[in-house]
């Protein structure tokens, strides 16, 4: 089993609060195999209530009553970046986390700042590496200069921290995708409280695989083989 497969199983275990034995893990060939193994572990806590739907209506209620978002703008495909108040968004987002009493996905940088940070990091790290190579190999300076890229990394982290105040973008952006992400982050806690059902289990596993490997959710189905169809080692 490759590193990608191990990472997926670890993330699945964390999502459901279970442990998958090495014996079970060695039998896994398809996405459906993961579905079945996890379902066997959690089916004693099953419930027919749909937690994704419950969570959606909970978020909807809080947005309307606590953040004055107009109810007509709240639908599954609505963009949170458009409907959630922009003024003092980070402060309000912390308030939202307290209201919903669940772990929420972090806000991220707007694209322009994300690109700026990426370019700055590349220039700092690659630039200091190039300088250290030139100084040591061509001018015979001390090899301690090879530590300069470390300084570039530190400066990149520093600039990233400085930009915390402008991390105001929701990702995923749509309320539907955001609800599924919140559900994935808090599923282990939620199933202890309310139980689960097979359809919901499969949805969470598919989301975990998509997020871990960087695939689109529609690419993942029970019959897909991890190695041959999805390219997971």
The predicted-structure confidence for 209-224, as pLDDT tens digits, reads as follows 887 888 887 889 999 9
Structure confidence at residue 56 as a pLDDT band (50, 70, 90): confident
- C-alpha span between 30 and 13 (Å, rounded): 17
Residue 113: predicted pLDDT: 95
How far CA 193 is from CA of 9, 101, 189, 196, in Å, comes to 23, 13, 7, 9
Q: What's the rounded mean pLDDT across residues 21-35?
A: 92
Q: Which range among 105-114, 175-184, 210-219 shows the weakest confidence by mean pLDDT?
A: 210-219
Does residue 72 contact residue 54 with C-beta atoms inside 8 Å?
A: no
How many Å is the maximal CA-CA distance in the chain? 72
What residues have CB less than 8 Å from 61, skipping those under 6 apart?
Answer: none
What residues does each domain of the chain span?
1-49+195-233, 51-103+177-189, 111-166
- The structure's pTM equals 0.67
Question: DSSP string of 99-129?
Answer: HHTS--PPPB--HHHHHHHHHHHHHHHHHHH
Q: Can you give the C-alpha Rg of the chain in angstroms? A: 22
Of 100, 109, 149, whose CA–CA distance to 127 is shortest? 149
């Amino acid at each position: 089993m490759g590193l990608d497969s191990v990472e997926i199983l670890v993330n699945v275990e964390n999502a459901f609060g279970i442990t998958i034995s090495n014996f079970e893990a060695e039998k896994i060939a398809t996405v459906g195999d993961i579905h079945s193994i996890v379902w066997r572990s959690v089916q004693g806590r099953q419930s027919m209530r749909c937690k994704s739907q419950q969570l959606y209506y909970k978020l909807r209620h809080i947005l309307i009553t606590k953040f004055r978002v107009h109810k007509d703008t709240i639908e599954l495909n609505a963009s949170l970046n458009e409907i959630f108040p922009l003024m003092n968004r980070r402060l309000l987002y912390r308030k939202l986390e307290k209201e919903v009493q669940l772990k929420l996905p972090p806000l991220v940088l707007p694209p322009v700042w994300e690109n700026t940070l990426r370019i700055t990091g590349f220039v700092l790290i690659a630039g200091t590496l190039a300088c250290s190579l030139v100084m040591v190999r061509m001018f015979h300076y001390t090899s301690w200069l090879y530590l300069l890229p470390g300084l570039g990394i530190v400066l990149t982290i520093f600039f990233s921290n400085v930009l915390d105040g402008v991390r105001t973008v929701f990702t995923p952006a749509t309320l539907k995708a955001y609800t599924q992400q919140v559900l994935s982050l808090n599923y282990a806690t939620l199933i202890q409280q309310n139980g689960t059902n097979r359809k919901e289990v499969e949805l969470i596993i598919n989301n975990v695989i998509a997020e871990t490997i960087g695939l689109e959710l529609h690419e993942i189905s029970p019959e897909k083989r991890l190695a041959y169809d999805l390219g997971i080692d």
